[in-house]
Structure formats: structure tokens, C-alpha cells
Structure 1
Amino acid sequence: MLRTELANQGAAPKIARPVPLRESVFEALLELILTGHLKPGQHLAESELAGLLGVSRQPIREALQLLSGEGWVDLHPGHGAFVHAPTVEEADQLLAVRTLLETESAKLAARHSTPDGVQRLRALCARGLAAVDADDVDMSVAINSELHAAITELSGNKVLAELASLVSRRVRWYHTPVARKRGRDSWSEHTELVDAIAAADEDRAADIMRKHTEHTRDSYLEQRQAEPVESAPEPTRRRRPRSPK
């Protein structure tokens, strides 16, 4: 009786359940991968990760399975887990898709720009430049992701926003290695982009975003060619022991 009355009155909010430990470990490990603290091709020893995060090996093992399912980690029987080392082709294809999505986002953001939206973008640019001046690469990359997400949100196209969000984390992963190299140039491009959005200049906003994302793409590919990532070892084939006659 009481439950029915409270439910009808909307007076009984659902109690939030705690996040499973494996998901918290998943997010912690993914953040280490995105920021480059765990590098492509690096071996992931369960015992070391457990000690680092202060948990048992079981949630580490479960989190590695989740990361493997999303392509962040490669599991090699007989060798263990390794941070996924993306091929040049894999990175090139994703960054090319990113250019298509974000170019359209910038065009629509200019079409639907609002004073509040532009003010938010300018504030993010100021924070990004401050992070560059402080040589805080992790913060600069995080704010970069936030700025691009804000532009996509300003576009008003929900489907486009959903598609862009699917690649945003991996784009952040590819951007981190070249963020210091791009430095202030990247944020100068951001400032020009925001100016075009504020002026409702759709074509200019789209052109600036296309060139901006292509600069990041080219920088990443150039660095990969100069510093090739070593792939994880191939699993060894184990012979089955002969049964006694």
C-alpha cells in the first residue's frame, strides 16, 4: 500500500547503485591508455596493475576483458594482455571519418550558433591556451575533446553527435602523442574556428575545421612513421603432451 502511494506521488526516487568495481577499473585503465601512461604495445601485468590501483587481480582481469572487447587491449594466450597498437591504416581511417563528422558539425554549429554557445567555446579556448602555456598536455588534450564535443552539440544534430561520440575517445588517444607538437597552433585554429561560428559563416567554419582535423591527422601519421610502434608477440603454439601407452 505504502509503496503504491509513494510511487504514484513520485516521492520515492530510485537509489543509485554503486558502479561495479570492474567498470571503475576499466575507466582507470582506459584513462592511463588515453593519456599515454600505458603505451601502445606495452605489456599489462595483472599483478602490477592490481598494485597500482589498489585492487585484487580479479577486477583487473575482468576490466582487461572489457577493454579487449572494445579494442583497447589485445589478449595473447600464453603471453598476456597488451595495450592495442593501432596500425597506420587503422588510425588513418578513423581520423578520416573524424574529419567528415566534425567538418559537418562546424558547418551546422555556425548555422545554429547562439551567444551562450559561442561564449562557452571562447571560454574553452582560453582554458586550452592556459594549459598549453603551463605545458599541461593531459589537460590540453582533455579540453580539446571538450571543445570539439561542444561544437558538435551546438550543431543541433543529435545523430551526428552520437556518431562523433563513438570516435571521440580514440581520437583523443591519437591526439595525445602530437598535442605538444601542435601546441599553440592548434588553439589558434580553434580561435579562428570559433570566430567563424560566431559570425555564422558556415563555409569558413567547415573549411577551418577540415584543415584543423587534417593537421592533427598528418601530425600523427608523420610521428608514427618516425617512431613505429612494436607489436605484441605472437602467441606460441603449445604441443599437447603425449598420453602414456
Structure 2
Amino acid sequence: MTEATSPLPERGPTGRKTKGSLSGAAARRVERPAPLRQAVYEALAELIINRTLQPGQHLVEADLAEYLGVSRQPVREALQRLQTEGWVDLRPAQGAFVHLPTDEEADQLFSVRGVLEAHSARLAAEHATAEDIERLWELHQAGVDALGDQDVERLVAANASFHAFITELSGNKVLAELIGQVDRRVRWYYTAIARPRGGEAWAQHAMLIEAITAKDAKRAEEIMSAHTEQTRQVYLNRPEND
């Protein structure tokens, strides 16, 4: 891979990502004793998902190895695996780059996600207990707080936690496995629209909790279907520079 300098972004005083060298960034050394190659893979995947590593960014093995506190070999192996899974593009004579997602890819993913999540909401309304409802409101408040602070990372995490808990409430292991397969990529796309989508999204989440509380399975399914469709539309209609 090409070893040209390609610094990772740092966070500025406002929390926005800025260009800078790895030497100025807080090291994210991987945890042990997890298998090293798996730990490096997970670390790099998360950096891509939360857009610390931006779509289209050139990835340099030496920089990544230093950032994670490991040798270049597990980084090389992780990049190859990430390419297989569509997170990274390996270009001959150029090196590795974070995959630049197309609108068609996003459209297909959000469409599948909508079908799965709508069914999940229906089942959640049938199975949720009073304690589950209380937990949903707690997760909702975490999202509202993150929105108030305009904290994108917390917003994305709160959104993922909220939807994951509804999937858990469905009680359908196959459904949970399928939704889990698309969750990471949904978080990747959602990061780009978390702020503009935030207010309306969390209002819809509140409506969804109310439907689940009333055990109105049909209503819960309809709200989730409309909610995920609107997220799809917001992503596809986002400003080009996002």
C-alpha cells in the first residue's frame, strides 16, 4: 500500500472533525487480550462508522498502526477484511480508501431496514411490559438530551440503542439477527443526517412508544414504517457537501 502521508482528522475545540496529524490525536490503543486482528478490525470499523475516518479518505497503514498502538500486519489484515465487507476500497498502486457510499447503496439499505424495523415494532407492541416501556422512555430521553446538546455521536448512539431495544422487544431472534447485519451501515449513513433529522425523529420515537404502550401493533408498525421511510428520504435529499 502507498505510504504517503494521510493524517487522520482530529477534533477541534467545537467538537468538529478537522485535519491534523495522528501525533496530535488521543491514542485509541486496542484492548487486549481480545484477538488482536479482531480488535483492530473492530476499532477501524468503528472509526469509519462514526466518520472519524471520512468517506473517500486515504488510509495509510503506518498511521493507523501508530494510532492504534499495534504493528502494521494486523492493520493490513483488517483493511483486507474491511474491503471484503464493503467498508474500504483497495486500489492498485494507490492504497486503501474509506468506501464512498452511493445513494443507490443507501437507498437499498434503508428500504430493507424499513421492512424489518416495521415488523419489529409490531411485535414489540405485542410483547412489551411496563418495565420495557419505562426503559424506552429512558432511551428516548437520552436522545432528546443529545439533540439538545447537538452532539452527533451521542445522537447516533442513542438512535441505535432505541431501535436495538425495540428489536429486542420483538422476541424474534431471526429478525434481530437480520437487523443486526444492517445496523452498522445504518449508523454510518445516519451520522450524516443526525442533526437535521433529529427533532422530528425523536418526536416520532415518542409516538412509537405511545403506540407500543397502548399495545396497538398496527399503529406501531405504521409509525415505524413512516419513520424509516422519512429517514431514507432525508438521507437521499441531504445537501451534496454532506
| Rounded Cα–Cα distance in structure 1 between residues aligned with 2:117 and 2:100 | 25
What SS does structure 2 have at the residue aligned with 1:226?
A: coil
Counterpart AA for 1:181: P
Aligned to 1:76: 91
Question: Number of paired residues?
Answer: 211
Counterpart selection for 1:56 from 71, 81, 84: 71
The amino acid of 1:107's aligned partner reads R
Gaps of 5+ in 1: 1-16, 229-245
Shift of 1:106: 0.5
Match of 2:158 in 1: 143
Inter-partner Cα distance in structure 1 for 2:211 and 2:175: 20
Which one-letter code corresponds to 2:240 in the other structure? A
SS of residue paired to 1:55: coil
- Gaps (5+ residues) in structure 2? 1-31
Cα drift, residue 181 of structure 1: 0.9
Q: Deviations over 1:60-95 (max 9, x none)?
A: 111111211211111112111111112211110111
Please report the TM-score for the alignment, with normalisation by the length of structure 1. 0.83
CA distance in structure 1 between the aligned counterparts of 2:101 and 2:108, rounded to whole angstroms = 11
Write the letter of the residue equivalent to 1:73. V
Q: CA deviation at 1:188?
A: 1.0
* Structure 2 length-normalised TM: 0.84
Q: Secondary structure at the match of 1:82?
A: strand
Q: Secondary structure at 1:74's aligned position in 2?
A: strand
Letter in 2 for 1:226: E
Q: How large is the Cα RMSD of the aligned pairs?
A: 1.4
Report the Cα offset of residue 23 of structure 1. 1.4
Separation of aligned partners in 2, 1:142 and 1:30 = 15
Instruction: Name the CA distance, whole Å, in 2 between partners of 1:158 and 1:38.
Output: 32
Please tell me whether Structure 1 or Structure 2 has the larger radius of gyration of its CA atoms: 1
Identical counterparts, % of pairs: 57
| Distance across 2 between alignment mates of 1:137 and 1:30 | 18
Provide the rounded CA distance (Å) in 2 between the counterparts of 1:53 and 1:163. 30
After superposition, the C-alpha distances for 1:4-40 in whole angstroms (9 at most, x for unaligned) are xxxxxxxxxxxxx931212111111111111111111
Partner residue, 1:175: 190
1:205 is aligned, of 216, 220, 231, to: 220
- 1:55 and 1:181 map into 2 onto residues whose CA distance is 38
Distance in 2, matches of 1:221 and 1:39, equals 18
Once residues 19 and 221 of structure 1 are traced to their aligned partners in structure 2, the CA distance between those partners, rounded to angstroms, is 38
Q: Which runs of 4+ in 1 moved over 6 A?
A: none
Give 1:226's aligned residue. 240
1:104 is the counterpart of 2:109: no
The SS at the match of 2:80 is: helix
Q: Counterpart of 1:60 in structure 2: which amino acid?
A: V
Aligned partners of 1:98, 1:214: CA distance in 2, in Å? 9
Which whole-Å CA distance do the structure 2 matches of 1:219 and 1:102 have between them? 17
Of the three residues 12, 29, 37, the one matched with 2:44 is 29
Counterpart for residue 20 of structure 1? 35
Q: Deviations over 1:167-187 (max 9, x none)?
A: 111111111100011122111
Q: What does residue 184 of structure 1 align with?
A: 199
Aligned counterpart, 1:11: none
Shift of 1:51: 2.1
2:145 pairs with 1:130: yes
Aligned equivalent of 2:179, options 140, 161, 164:
164
Q: State the AA in 1 paired with 2:222.
A: D
Aligned residue type for 2:111: A
